[in-house]
Structure 1
Amino acid sequence: MAINKPTVAQLRAFLALAEHLHFGDAAAALRMSQPALSGAVAALEDTLETRLVERTTRKVLLTPAGRRVARRAEVVMAELDRLVEEVRAVRGPLVGPLSVGVIPTVAPYLLPIVLPRLAKEYPKLELSVHEEQTDQIVAELLAGRLDVVLLALPMPESGVTEIPLYDEDFVLAAPAEFELAPGSAGVSRAVLNDLDVILLNKGHCLRDQALDVCREVGARAAATYATSLATLVQLVSGGLGVTLVPETALPVETRRAPNLSVHRFAAPAPHRRIGLGFRSTSPRAGEFETLAESVRDAVAETGFPAGVRLA
């Protein structure tokens, strides 16, 4: 006699619910409607003939059976994802679906020069891009919902292999009327001691990197924060303080900020390293090395200034 078995869609829906313990958040993570997710979980309960979740007015709780199913489902889905990745790896480099996570302080400046190259070199690549802050895309990577991420190194989590791409200096952006007297070799980091440094909101790795530079020289951060690098530069242009801008962002952001002056730091300039990260257990390491090489080639061909160096 045939036995009903859970479907992949049911298991994915239930695992998302087990992770978020909220139907709305789980549905958003899977990019599906809440009724569809609720229906998939209910169908799984019917298939297994047992209650997996306890629905309250405020949150969702797993039943003892639900906790056991979640543990088993994680193993099943990890093996299924691995099977798919192994098959893709055999077909050839950068063929078929590839989900990439990118942080907001890289995406607008790097993707326009990388995506056309990938489309030309790998026409069978089915690329999807998801822009989120570092913690979110790393969590999505480790959960198997992203294949590879593009962000500032080092990685905040273990179990991820890094491929360095390039280093880029930070540049000091200030209102045009600010009187800074750089030497021929550039401004000293110590100049930050006399200025209010505007930062991005919490969650952006660029905020943390800027804070590290400030701490090195004992500089203070201003009480003004921004949700994006574009807004940050506009606040500086409006005279609210200064900020640190990655070299690759300058061509885009300075065009939209008329009252802005740009000053490069004396060597060694503060900088960040941008790279790829993928699960250390992924069989697609060779593909990601190929992807990294394409990104480096695209960066090299753009003619970025000396403040950007291939890793």
Structure 2
Amino acid sequence: AVARERHFGRAASSCFVSQPTLSVAVRKLEEELDVTLFERRKSEVTVTAIGKRIIEQAQRILEESDLLKQIASEGIDQLADPIKLGALTTIGQYLLPKLILTTHRSQSRLRIIPEENSKLVLQNRLKKGELDVVIVSEPFSEPGIETTPLYEEPFLLVLPIGHPWSNRKHIPFSELRLESLLMLSRNHCLRDQIMSFFPTLRTKNESPSLETIRHMVASNLGISIFPKYAINTGSYADNLLTSCELIEPSPSRRVLLAWRKSFTRPGAISELASLVKQSVSEKLKDSEPNKIPVIGA
């Protein structure tokens, strides 16, 4: 203030202190630094060369102090920064569009940077801090990783319209095992989950993509098993494809949210989990039967 006003009286007024108080404070600072900051004359105060350098440095320190306060306030506001979200391809492909839409509709301030990948890649990127949180399916257990369940997703049999089973509501495995199914290739965890329920299942025409399998089923090349969330999406919808429940057993997967225990934004995790559950509920609220149970909703 003294450097700006070039006058102790005006500087004191701008700081809402008395002139003697300001003069004593400046003199004490000069004594502590062992320099003269100002040349004092009756009508004006002039900043010395060393005083100019010190004042410039002090200004930078004040600005950095303000920046620290701003960063700290962003830490308190856990939705201030985007969250880097990874998802299994067989989940993210169908969940992310609805999740982004739900985020906008609910006017949430959470911003999502999405990524789809395999479970192994997501696991490694999460541990390295390249992702903040991932959406995966069980099993998913890693040291230093926290998880919370989101929803239970049944697996349904997908059939072309006109198949002999297309009007049935339930198919037991005793009938299914007589068929050869279109299936994901062997490096997919979704395939492993399906095969864990039906270890003697016969497969054919393996593909790395659920969408390719969808095209093949629509082309009447066979039948397949899909997660419920992937049903009735894409160009075919109900025109060429139908689905029915599998029973004895009734297969499903549990979908989880996973993050590092050291992640410092639990508020963002909570907001994301709530939005995912809302997205699943909204997408499937009219999908009866086979509605997906949202965990903790």
1:59-88 Cα offsets, whole Å, 9 max, x none, are xxxxxxxxxxxxxxxxxxxxxxxxxxx968
Indicate yes or no: 2:193 matched with 1:233.
no
**Is the Cα–Cα contact under 8 Å of residues 83 and 268 in structure 2 kept in the other structure?**
no
Task: Tell me the distance in 1 between the aligned counterparts of 2:108 and 2:72.
Answer: 19
Q: TM-score with structure 2 length normalisation?
A: 0.66
1:109 aligns with 2:94: yes
* 1:195 Cα offset (Å): 0.7
Aligned-partner residue type, residue 229 of structure 1: L
Deviation at 1:199, TM superposition (A): 1.4
Q: 1:189 maps to which residue?
A: 173
Cα distance in structure 2, aligned partners of 1:173 and 1:254 = 15
- Identity score, percent: 26
User: Which runs of 5 or more residues in structure 2 are unaligned?
Assistant: 1-70
Deviation per CA, 1:137-182: give whole Å up to 9, x if none.
Answer: 1111111100000121221534321111111111101233432388
The answer to whether the 8 A contact 1:233-1:257 is kept is no
Q: How far is 1:257 from its partner?
A: 7.8
Measured after TM superposition, the shift of residue 198 of structure 1 is 1.7
SS of aligned partner of 1:252:
coil
**Is contact 1:93–1:290 with CA below 8 Å preserved after alignment?**
no
Corresponding letter in the other structure for 2:262: T
Q: Distance in 2 between matches of 1:254 and 1:285?
A: 38
CA distance in 1, matches of 2:266, 2:181: 40
Give the equivalent residue in structure 1 for 2:54: none
**Structure 2 Cα separation of the partners of residues 183 and 135 of structure 1:** 37
Change (3 A) 1:254 1:210: farther
1:277 aligned to which of 258, 277, 281: 258
Asked if 1:200 is matched to 2:184, the reply is yes
Residues matched between the structures, number:
222
Q: For 2:271, which of 268, 279, 290 is the aligned residue?
A: 290
Aligned position for 1:159: 144
User: Does 1:136 pair with 2:121?
Assistant: yes
State the match for 1:299 in structure 2: 280
Whether contact under 8 Å (1:95, 1:122) holds in the other structure is no
Q: 1:180 to 1:127 in 2, by over 3 A?
A: closer
Provide structure 1 residue ranges, at least 5 long, that are not aligned to the other structure. Answer: 1-85
Q: Deviations over 1:235-257 (max 9, x none)?
A: 12223322111111112047258
Normalised by the length of structure 1, the TM-score is 0.63
1:125 matched residue in structure 2: 110
1: CA distance between counterparts of 2:143 and 2:182? 31
Inter-partner Cα distance in structure 1 for 2:220 and 2:167: 20
Q: Residues 189 and 158 of structure 1: is their aligned pair in 2 closer, same or farther, counting only changes over 3 Å? A: farther
* 2:242 counterpart letter in structure 1: S
1:283–1:107 Cα change, 3 Å: same
| C-alpha RMSD over aligned residues | 2.7
* Distance in 2, Cα, partners of 1:307 & 1:257: 17
Cα distance in 1 for partners of 2:108, 2:152 equals 29
Displacement, 1:300? 1.9
Q: Secondary structure at the match of 1:105?
A: helix
Mapping for residues 1-311 of structure 1, pairs under 5 Å: 90-121=75-106, 124-155=109-140, 157-180=142-165, 186-215=170-199, 218-222=200-204, 224-253=205-234, 255=236, 258-266=239-247, 269-302=250-283, 303=285, 304-305=287-288, 306-311=290-295
